[in-house]
């Protein structure tokens, strides 16, 4: 909107015996010029001055340029006095030093099934293990699932069990750490790290759970443990019911236990005593292939879908 078309407001100053008027272009910005009632005369002030009004308290903020001998661009802020908002007065804060605003913590990025440790499926309260505050190595923190891309086209699930405290160099004997879930075929499977066999040390296995016979180990899997209590176990989909993209694992939970009696050579041992068991959760597979070249993007409903390089979403 041009100065001639803008609304006019009352006199605020006198320059060279001519009135200086405010030409209001919008509710929060005011441009100053000489002879603002007409379009004739000196237009320098229009080009060199700008005034903003704080819409909260009506405080004036002026910027201007001096093209004289001194030169420069300047900023002037109203400290007190009459406000541009009717019935409001600017409170003088010039004698009070501002205080720092407490820093805020940005929320963590959303969990990504393509990157380890993946999506958090279950969280478990701290300190709820049997014998607490002892048995911290058995206190479950969370269960996570991921499906990173494998260059050879492998279809694998990576389950991570996080416990509160676990020293890889000093693992307690006869202990077990498990992630359990029910595959779409209706069978319950487990992935486990244990120290049941004193002749082999730590082992990583997978197996199935029978309602009558209990757990039955089917074989070994890849696994690792780090200094921060993350137990990571990787299994081929084909070994645990062959779940596919879009299918859901149900009854996902973590479980820690201690075996009464040793099990040298995988033989012997007695009753399993559970130390901590989490609640159940679900995990829907995205497919390892979708974590490859194009990756995944979070959709509006919070789920993940394949995304092209330009980040548009392939639903």
3 state SS for the chain:
CCCCCCEEEEEEEEECCEEEEEEEEECCEEEEEECCCCCCCCCHHHHHEEEEECCCCCCEEEEEEECCCCCEEEEEECCCEECCCCCCEECCCCCCCCCCCCCCCCCCCCCCCCCCCCEEEEECCCCCCCCCCCCHHHCEEEEEEECCCCCCCCCEEEEEEEECCCCCCCCCCCEEEEEEEECCCCCEEEEEEECCCCCCCCEEEEEEEECCCEEEEEEECEEEECCCCEEEEEEEHHHHCCCCCCCEEEEEEEEEEEECCCCHHHCCCCCEEEEEECCCEEEECCCHHHHCCCCEEECCCCCEEEECCCCCEEC
Least confident of 35-39, 58-62, 299-303: 35-39
Residues of the chain with CATH 2.60.40: 119-307
pLDDT digits (tens, 9 = 90+) for 32-56: 444 444 455 555 554 567 778 888 8
Q: Is the pLDDT of residue 21 over 50?
A: no
Question: How much is the mean pLDDT over the chain?
Answer: 78
pLDDT digits (tens, 9 = 90+) for 196-233: 988 888 999 999 999 888 899 999 999 999 989 999 99
pLDDT digits (tens, 9 = 90+) for 180-204: 999 999 999 999 999 998 888 899 9
Task: Band the pLDDT of 11: cuts 50, 70, 90.
Answer: very low
pLDDT of residue 272: 85
Q: Is the pLDDT of residue 28 over 60?
A: no
Class of domain 119-307: mainly beta
Q: If you average pLDDT over residues 273-292, what whole number do you get?
A: 95
pLDDT of residue 247: 98
């Amino acid at each position: 909107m041009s100065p001639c078309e803008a609304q006019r407001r009352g006199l605020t100053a006198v320059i060279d015996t001519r009135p200086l008027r405010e030409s209001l272009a919008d509710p929060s910005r005011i441009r100053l010029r000489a002879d603002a009632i007409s379009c004739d005369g000196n237009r320098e002030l229009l080009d060199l001055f700008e005034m903003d009004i704080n819409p909260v308290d009506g405080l004036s903020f002026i910027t201007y340029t001096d093209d004289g001998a001194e030169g420069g661009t300047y900023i002037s802020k109203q400290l007190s006095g009459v406000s541009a908002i009717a019935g409001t007065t600017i409170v003088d804060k010039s004698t009070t030093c501002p205080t720092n605003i407490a820093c805020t913590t940005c929320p963590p990025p959303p969990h990504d099934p393509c990157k380890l440790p993946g999506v958090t499926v279950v969280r478990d309260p701290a300190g709820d293990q049997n014998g607490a505050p002892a048995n911290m190595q058995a206190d479950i923190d969370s269960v996570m699932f991921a499906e990173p891309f494998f260059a050879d086209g492998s279809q694998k699930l990576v389950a991570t069990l996080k416990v509160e405290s676990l020293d890889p160099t000093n693992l307690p004997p006869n202990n077990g750490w498990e992630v359990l879930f029910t595959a779409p075929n209706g069978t319950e499977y487990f992935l486990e790290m244990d120290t049941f066999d004193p002749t082999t040390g730590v082992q990583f296995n997978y197996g199935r759970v029978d309602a009558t016979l209990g757990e039955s180990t089917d074989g070994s899997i890849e696994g690792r443990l780090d200094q921060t209590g993350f137990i990571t176990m990787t299994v081929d989909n084909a070994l645990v019911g062959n779940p596919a993209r879009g299918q859901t694992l149900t009854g996902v939970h973590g479980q820690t236990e201690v075996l009464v009696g040793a099990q040298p050579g995988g033989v012997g041992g007695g009753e399993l005593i559970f130390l901590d068991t989490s609640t159940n959760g679900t995990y829907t597979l995205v497919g390892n292939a979708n974590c490859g070249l194009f990756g995944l993007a979070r959709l509006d409903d919070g789920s993940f879908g394949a995304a092209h390089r330009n980040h548009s979403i392939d639903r």
